[in-house]
């Protein structure tokens, strides 16, 4: 309205100012770069290093058959960062980003893809006891393999250098050469995982016989309850001195961009995102694992000139990961406990004391 003196009223002036401000805001929003809006990073079920190439346990641990997740992880299925499309990724890998996003106000984990992994580990010497065994037993571990999860066939190599014990006189070196043949279907919302892992396990001194092969397998259903929650129901068979059948599964839960829980067996992990340091994301994680190895060795036994040995233990570690654009690294330490050694052909078994473990790994 116009006042008696022909001047606009105060209410008219305020209404015009509000309209002008609203139009300006709309124009600014339309002109803004849509990529500047931060996108939520939907992370995997497992982390790769949670399951990293450990010899003679399922290479990736329970994972999703597709990805929207890995991991895993493991060690690992994944939905990648910033809306990149899901990819089949049972070993918990991330696919690379097509473009560098604008960094949100809050630091976000970066997505990376890796193909090959190398890790080394040291288990401190510990006393052996039982079955007439004596002395100390220490281990150096080297694990290597192709971890490209999009492939149905991956290779694995594991080397162990044993020091001790005094009795029985175990070989100094044992080796494992393996392939993992994997079939998965997308968890949409139900997927399957079927895998077969033949392995040659030997000290390369004993004549190669049936004891020099392990024939492992696993099968699981992957149920995608929500984008953040997956349920894995399965069973694994490990061909060792004992025929070992274990539950293979659990739940993977990613409640936010900064936390990842893989509450699974035989490998579990909890991962917390700390910060981005330059182009590297830094994570803190804790892991737990049930682990069993077996090898044919050149050791005289009551049944003949060679033996098959089985080493079983539990491992609990705390570590950090650095995930860069071209490579990733980990450093972890913890304890190996409840360690038992058994033989197939009558050699008395024995126990090994609790030992510390430190491991370093690279993915590239």
Give one DSSP letter per residue of 171-232, joined into a string: -SEEEEEEEEEEEE---SSEEEEEEEEEEEEE-SSSPP-GGGEEEEEEEEEEEE-SSSEEEE
In angstroms, rounded to a whole number, what is the distance separating the alpha carbons of residues 292 and 139? 14
Q: What is the mean pLDDT of residues 301-319?
A: 92
Does residue 38 form part of some domain? no
Whether 63 shows a pLDDT value over 90: the answer reads: no
Q: Does 344 or 301 have the greater pLDDT score?
A: 344
Does residue 119 form part of some domain? yes
pLDDT of residue 103: 35
Does residue 282 form part of some domain? yes
Name the residue among 81, 82, 52 with its Cα closest to residue 69. Answer: 81
pLDDT of residue 315: 98
Token pair recorded at residue 340: 């038992």
Does residue 81 form part of some domain? no
Q: What is the value of pTM for the model shown?
A: 0.73
pLDDT of residue 183: 94
Does residue 70 form part of some domain? no
Calculate the CA 327 to chain-centre distance.
15
Specify the number of domains making up the chain: 1
pLDDT of residue 68: 29
* Average model confidence (pLDDT) across the chain: 77
Contact 302, 295 (CB under 8 A): no
Domain of 160 in residue numbering reads as: 96-363
pLDDT of residue 57: 62
For residue 126, the domain's CATH number is 2.40.160
Rounded (5°) CA angle 161-164-170: 75
Does residue 346 form part of some domain? yes
pLDDT of residue 54: 62
Convert the pLDDT of each residue in 82-120 to its tens digit. Answer: 333 333 333 332 323 233 333 334 455 544 555 789 999
Does residue 86 form part of some domain? no
Q: How confident is the model at residue 218 (pLDDT cuts 50, 70, 90)?
A: very high
Does residue 225 form part of some domain? yes
Whether 182 shows a pLDDT value over 70: the answer reads: yes
């Amino acid at each position: 309205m116009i006042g008696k003196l022909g001047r606009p009223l105060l209410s008219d002036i305020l209404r015009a100012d509000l309209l002008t401000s609203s139009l300006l805001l709309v124009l600014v929003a339309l002109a803004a770069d849509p990529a500047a809006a931060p996108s939520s990073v939907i992370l995997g079920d497992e982390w790769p290093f949670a399951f990293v190439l450990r010899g003679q346990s399922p290479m990736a641990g329970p994972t999703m058959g597709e990805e929207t997740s890995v991991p895993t992880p493991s060690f690992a299925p994944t939905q990648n960062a910033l809306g990149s499309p899901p990819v089949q990724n049972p070993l918990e890998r991330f696919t690379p980003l097509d473009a560098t996003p604008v960094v949100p106000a809050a630091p976000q984990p970066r997505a990376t893809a890796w193909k090959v992994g190398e890790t080394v580990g040291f288990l401190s010497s510990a006393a052996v006891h039982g079955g007439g065994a004596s002395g100390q037993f220490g281990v150096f571990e080297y694990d290597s393999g192709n971890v490209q999860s999009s492939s149905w066939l991956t290779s694995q190599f594991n080397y162990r250098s044993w020091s001790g014990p005094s009795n029985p006189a175990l070989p100094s070196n044992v080796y494992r050469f393996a392939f993992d043949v994997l079939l998965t279907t997308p968890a949409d919302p139900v997927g399957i995982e079927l895998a077969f892992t033949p392995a040659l396990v030997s000290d390369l001194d004993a004549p190669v016989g049936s004891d020099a092969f392990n024939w492992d397998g696993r099968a699981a259903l992957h149920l995608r309850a929500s984008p953040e929650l997956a349920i894995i129901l399965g069973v694994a068979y490990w061909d060792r001195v004992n025929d070992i059948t274990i539950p293979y599964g659990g739940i993977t839960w990613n409640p936010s961009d900064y936390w990842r829980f893989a509450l699974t067996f035989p490998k579990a992990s909890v991962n917390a995102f700390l910060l981005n340091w330059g182009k590297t994301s830094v994570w803190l994680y804790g892991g737990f694992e049930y682990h069993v190895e077996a090898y044919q060795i050149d050791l005289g036994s009551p049944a003949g000139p060679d033996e098959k040995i089985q080493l079983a233990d539990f491992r609990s570690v705390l570590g950090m990961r650095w995930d860069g654009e071209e490579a990733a690294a980990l450093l972890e330490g913890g304890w190996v406990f409840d360690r038992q050694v058994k033989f197939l052909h009558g050699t008395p078994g024995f126990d090994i004391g609790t030992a510390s473990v430190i491991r370093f790994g690279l993915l590239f």
